[in-house]
Structure 1
Amino acid sequence: ARTTSRGPSSGAPGELVAAFNTPLAAITFVLEEIVQDLNSRFLGSVLLASVLGAFAVHALSEKHPALEISAVGSPDWLIYLLTPVVAAAAALVGVLFQKTSIGLRATTRKMNRIPAWIRPAIGALIAWGIAVSIFLFTKAETGQGHLGVFGVGYEDLNAALTSSFSWKVAGLLLIGKLIATIACYGMGGCGGIFSPALFLGGMTGVLLSGLFGLFVDLTPEAQITLAVVGMSSCLGAVVRAPVTGILIVFEMTNEFYLVPALMLGALISSAVSRQFCKYNFYEELLEQDGHQLEHVIPPRDLKSWQQLPVSAIANFSPVIIKDLSPEVLSEVLEAFPYLRFPVVVNKEIKGVITREEAKEALEEQREPELAPLIICAPSQSIRELQYSLIESATGLVGLVDPGAKRLIGIVTLHDLLRREVAITKEYTDDV
């Protein structure tokens, strides 16, 4: 989500560089995912943080890519024909990872009978059981145990990118890692997003290349290329930052010949992700935690602002007058300083009463006159709301539930201006 502070925007690229040794991808990740604006004023601080992170990595560790990869050369046309299939499959794995993790996280929060501190332990126990089972099984079958379900899984991922890797083992690691990570993340533990997505995508590519090899002749270099495409596509589907997905895999492998295939894979994975998920992983987490994305991720321009739903700025706890008797009017005027109030009597919307009209009616001991209430749906755009506010004589618009036809909130001209001022402040702060 976008933030008005330079701290997160500067800290994130440094951490990403330290973890993956990918300074360019760190820059694009912050601009695509956190700031969500490639023309951001934070570019300078993001670039500086990325450079410092790269210096730290080179000073404290060896100067080589995060993943070793055998030279693959330029892919042939068969690889380009298989790339969309692998990209779509890896993207679907990413979608499954995202939806299942978020769903389990929501379910776990409702488990009141299980103490919160025990839930992560349950997820860890599930992951441990799966990891040990796969290690023992692969050791018995192949003579070499695979630990890819544990931790980041770089050892098995490196093996898949440097030599011929069993596609059956890749399928087993794919299923095991997927279930283990979902269990850890969904139960409240540490599951990660970047590393699991890269591992799951890589194993998807190895698995499919093995299956393709049953029907067509594929070289070990082809398997490596498809594995890398899977890594980029799965990550791109989960974080929905295609440029980052391309660059991070390119920098981790340092193979320029892979870029065209990665670009094609990014195109496919973006389409698949948007088809099945409304938001990326991070945005779904924010929404599940009760944040309104319109507040966390402010619009970048006038068009984006006008396309926001009215619900982004509405007041869903308005003071509603349900009785026009003098006693009730006096109590409301004394308790609340507002200039206008919606009137709903016996669940029927009657209109709007202004503070001035209510005072005059009490002084003259007469029935108050109500102004008509202009209504709109919460899903309508702010652009449509602006026209409704122009039509409203009181500067107040009521939000009505389309199904039940009941008043659920209001929006005033002050609400609109207050939100516009807040957005302007977010763009001018820290400049």
Structure 2
Amino acid sequence: MKRPWSRPYSLVRLLRARLWLAALFGPGALQGMLLYAGLVGFVGGLGAFGFTRLINVFAHLLTGQSGDLVHTARGFDWQHRLLVPVLGSFAAGVVMTLGMRLAHGRSSPDFMEAIVLKDGIIAPRPVLVRCTSSLLSIASGGSMGREGPMVQLSAMLASWVGRLVRMPTPRRRLLVACGVAAGIASAYKAPIAGSLFVAEIVLGSIAMESFGPLVFAAVIATLTNRQLLHLTQLPESTPLYAFAGVSLHSNWETIPYILLGLCAGGLAPFFLRLLRLSSAFFQSLGLPTALRLAAGGVVVGTISIRHPEVWGNGQSVVTSLLHESWAYDALFITLICKLLATAATVGSGAVGGVFTPTLFVGATLGLLFEKCYHLLFPGLLLDPRAYALVGMGCFLAATTHAPLMAIIMLFEMTLDYDLVLPLMLGCVTAYYTAYGIDRRSIYTEQVEQKRAAQRNRMRAVCVADILETAPSAVFETAVFLEVAKIFARTQQNHLYVIDEARRLRGIISLTDIREYLNDPELAQLVYAYDIVNERFPVVTPEMSLPDAARQFTKVAGERLPVINSPTTRTLVGSISKTDLLLTLAHDGAAGD
């Protein structure tokens, strides 16, 4: 007897649309990953914008003014210059202490740890506590960058999105990495550099499976931030350091840029050692968190009595260096004071970044180099701004051991192509010089610690680690209408066919049902076992990831079924090609 196949018009139309999309884009989850990366970029851009506005709010509460912190400090008497950093740092320490108690003892979040070891999961409460503490430290004149908490906030929001949509672990890790790229892009309006930072330093791979979503998130975050600045009628500087272009007056001028790279590369390891020594010193004091941060504030406040330029991340001072003429002694004293203030702020345990202070040191170093070189060769026509900018890139490349990221970041900050050639020479020279002196970068300890643990884990990684349970399946006796309905309500392009004992019989692809959509007479006679493809590659939970990758080469599909063993063939789940490639690219880079 024939079974009814009414061929509902809406169901047929939906299945035809899915067939058309599958033929147009091909099977795969990477295209969908771009959509989630864009969502993370949008959310990260919102978070970064909100954090920046909150800094002004907290600054007004602590100082009575909002805006540039250096300008605020210059307007204070010496008592306020001393007390504001101390009280703000103490309050930041109190927030850290009480907040971590409210977080029920959860450890401090780390986006690198979340990406490498913790399956892309970042608890929101500790992040919010640290961001609030950072707001107090930054708003009270702490000598550090705001990019650190902005990145943590964006990464936390990305982790929340990944958990909300129940994303598999490899894709959730990539989503957190997209959040990091979005945070850096929002802080510096440098989407390419933000993507390269994550690829070079965090992931250790520029494989397109991961780099494409990073770029997508960074660009969306930059556009979101720019649009919010426009809507709120706030001043927007695009690029970050905008001024009339600089140019090389002679090809011989490349020589001093190489020498500048040597100087920056030689000094960068000592800057990093200063930060480590400062951290060790403050830890050795054995003070409670609030008093330890307040001690760092005492150092900053004391220095700022005579030199208020040490307040904040130094961005406004860098702008002044690029547009105004500074004397030798003022440059040198400001450099020393900023080094000490940054070491005290970071070493005391305040939550913040060191990117912008690093750029400050590089700019000052570049200007000092230009003045010394001009004394030796007074006949040469040198542009001080160019040496300040190249110095920024050189010192950044030397401290991070990421010269490509440093070159691109400085280009995006200025959009001056004439700087690219000297930047390339100087940054590469600085990197090799610093690496020859000390192989540790500012992130080496974090990255190596986490990747060492990951290499141990990778020795045992197999299909079971990326297995997704409860795959879309249908019994072999199912009628065609039931098969069509399952395809219509899921996003899978393959449906697994099982018997009553859940043994895998084969698969039905979306394209296999095409010919029955327009033939109701034939569809009434079709069961699942009539259209099943029994010659389809399978994997087992114990199979290694490289072996599973070889199985994917046998079929043009996004997923493979996982069976318990070749003999019983019980269906236990499925694996995604996207998750497999992301795991191999990410974990394989860590093991190199």
- What is the TM-score with the length of structure 2 in the denominator? 0.46
- State the alpha-carbon separation in 1 of the partners of residues 412 and 458 from structure 2: 29
Matched residue, 1:122: 295
Deviation, 1:8, is 2.5
**Aligned counterparts of 1:187 and 1:79: Cα–Cα separation in 2:** 42
User: 1:83-232 residue pairs with structure 2 within 5 A?
Assistant: 83-112=257-286, 114-135=287-308, 147=309, 149-190=310-351, 192-217=353-378, 222-232=383-393
Instruction: Give the AA of the match of 1:119.
Output: R
Aligned to 1:316: none
Contact 2:403 2:427 in 1 (8 A): yes
Conservation of the 8 A alpha-carbon contact between 1:90 and 1:231: no
Sort the Cα spacing of 1:286 and 1:121 in 2 relative to 1 into closer, same or farther, 3 A: farther
Equivalent residue number for residue 71 of structure 1: 245
In structure 2, C-alpha distance between the alignment counterparts of 1:165 and 1:184, rounded to whole Å: 26
CA separation in 2, counterparts of 1:96 and 1:79? 27
Partner of 1:271: 432
CA contact (8 A) 2:365 2:391 kept: yes
2: CA distance, partners of 1:158 / 1:219: 25
CA drift of 1:296 comes to 4.6
1:278 shift after superposition: 2.4
| Contiguous gaps of at least 5 residues in structure 2 | 1-111, 117-169, 230-235, 460-579, 588-592
Distance 1:200 1:296, change over 3 A: farther
> Matches of residues 369-408 of structure 1 in structure 2 within 5 Å?
none
**Alignment partner of 2:244: what SS?**
coil
In the alignment, which residue of structure 1 is the partner of 2:219? 51
Distance 1:243 1:270 in 2: 10
Residue 78 (structure 1) shift:
4.3
Q: 2:180 matched to 1:22? A: no
Q: How far apart, in 2, do the equivalents of 1:51 and 1:215 lie?
A: 44
8 A Cα contact 1:67 1:158, kept in partner: yes
CA deviations on 1:37-74 (whole Å, 9 max, x unpaired) are 11252122211111111111221233611112332123
> Could you tell me whether the CA contact under 8 Å between 1:68 and 1:161 is conserved in 2?
no
Q: CA RMSD in A?
A: 2.8
Question: Secondary structure at 2:375's aligned position in 1?
Answer: coil
Q: Report the Cα distance in structure 1 between the residues aligned to 2:331 and 2:352, rounded to whole angstroms.
A: 20
**CA distance in structure 2 between the aligned counterparts of 1:68 and 1:219, rounded to whole angstroms:** 25
SS of the residue 1:213 aligns to: helix
Shift of 1:186: 1.2
The C-alpha deviation readout for 1:368-408, integer Å capped at 9, x for no partner, is xxxxxxxxxxxxxxxxxxxxxxxxxxxxxxxxxxxxxxxxx
Give distance in 1, aligned partners of 2:279 and 2:285: 10
Q: 1:294, CA displacement in angstroms? A: 1.6
The separation in 1 between residues aligned to 2:380 and 2:356, in whole angstroms, is 27
CA pair 299-83 structure 1, distance change in 2 beyond 3 A: farther
The percent identity for this pair of structures is: 24
State the 4+ residue runs in structure 1 displaced beyond 6 angstroms. Answer: 297-301
Q: Deviations over 1:199-257 (max 9, x none)?
A: 10000001111122222237786211111111001111111111110011111111100
Task: Give the equivalent residue in structure 1 for 2:210.
Answer: 42
Uncovered stretches (5+) of structure 1, i.e. residues with no partner? 136-146, 302-422
Deviation of 1:274 after TM superposition, in Å, equals: 0.9
> Where does 1:343-362 land on structure 2 (aligned, <5 Å)?
none
Contact 1:161 1:224 (C-alpha < 8 Å) held by counterparts:
yes
Q: Is the 8 A contact 2:374 2:382 kept in 1?
A: no
Q: Any idea what the Cα deviations from partners look like across 1:184-206, whole Å, max 9, x if unmatched?
A: 11111245221011110000001
TM-score normalised to the size of structure 1? 0.62
Query: 1:296-346 deviations in whole A, cap 9, x for unaligned?
Result: 578999xxxxxxxxxxxxxxxxxxxxxxxxxxxxxxxxxxxxxxxxxxxxx
2:254 aligned residue (64, 80, 85): 80
- Count of aligned pairs: 293
**CA distance in 1: counterparts of 2:228 and 2:369, whole angstroms:** 37
C-alpha deviation, 1:115, in angstroms: 1.9
Partner of 1:309: none
